[in-house]
Structure 1
Amino acid sequence: MLAVLSVEFRKLNRSLAVLLAVAAPSLIAIFSFFNLMRGKAPQPWEMWMVSSIGIWAFFMLPMSVTALTALVAHMEHGPKSWDHLRSLPLPRWRLYAAKAMVVLAVVAIMSASTLFLTWGAVTLATTMKPALTPTGPFDIGAYATTMSRVFLAAILMVAIQLWTALRFASFVPALVVGIGGTFFSVVATSAKAGVFFPWQMPVNMLVSTQAWRVNTALGLGCGLGLVVLALAVAHLARREVP
Structure 2
Amino acid sequence: MFPILRTELTKLHRSLALLLIMAAPTLVGLFLLLNGLRDGQQRPWEVWLGASSGIWAFFMLPMSVTALTALLAQTEHAPRAWDQLRALPIARWRIYAAKALVVLVVVAAMTALCLMLTLAAGALAGLIRPENAPTGPLGLATVAESLGRIYLASVLMIAIQFFLALRFASFVPGLVLGIAGTFFAVVATGAEEGVFLPWQMPVNILASEPWRAQTALGLGLGLGLLALLAAIAVLSHRDVP
Normalising by the smaller structure, the TM-score range is: over 0.9
| TM-score, normalised with respect to structure 2 | 0.99
Does the alignment pair 1:109 with 2:109?
yes
The residue that corresponds to 1:59 in the other structure is: 59
Alignment partners' CA distance in 1, 2:199 and 2:238: 27
The residue that corresponds to 2:215 in the other structure is: 216
The residue that corresponds to 1:88 in the other structure is: 88
Q: Give the aligned residue type for 1:239.
A: R
Alignment partners' CA distance in 1, 2:116 and 2:91: 38
The residue that corresponds to 1:22 in the other structure is: 22
How many pairs are equivalent? 241
1:133 to partner: Cα distance: 1.8
The residue that corresponds to 1:13 in the other structure is: 13
The residue that corresponds to 2:226 in the other structure is: 227
The residue that corresponds to 1:42 in the other structure is: 42
Does the alignment pair 1:159 with 2:147?
no
Alignment partners' CA distance in 1, 2:41 and 2:90: 60
The residue that corresponds to 2:205 in the other structure is: 205
Q: Give the aligned residue type for 1:206.
A: L
Alignment partners' CA distance in 1, 2:14 and 2:29: 25
1:132 to partner: Cα distance: 1.7
Q: Give the aligned residue type for 1:23.
A: A
Alignment partners' CA distance in 2, 1:190 and 1:118: 26
Alignment partners' CA distance in 2, 1:185 and 1:141: 28
1:172 to partner: Cα distance: 0.7
Alignment partners' CA distance in 2, 1:191 and 1:180: 16
Alignment partners' CA distance in 1, 2:56 and 2:92: 34
Taking every aligned residue pair, what percent have the same amino acid on both sides?
Answer: 58
Over aligned residues, Cα RMSD in angstroms? 0.7
Alignment partners' CA distance in 1, 2:133 and 2:176: 42
The residue that corresponds to 1:240 in the other structure is: 239
Q: Give the aligned residue type for 1:103.
A: V
1:41 to partner: Cα distance: 1.8
1:153 to partner: Cα distance: 0.2
Alignment partners' CA distance in 2, 1:221 and 1:85: 31
Alignment partners' CA distance in 2, 1:36 and 1:170: 41
The residue that corresponds to 2:125 in the other structure is: 125
Alignment partners' CA distance in 2, 1:178 and 1:185: 10
1:40 to partner: Cα distance: 2.3
- Runs of 4+ with >6 A deviation: none
Alignment partners' CA distance in 1, 2:215 and 2:148: 16
| TM-score, normalised with respect to structure 1 | 0.98
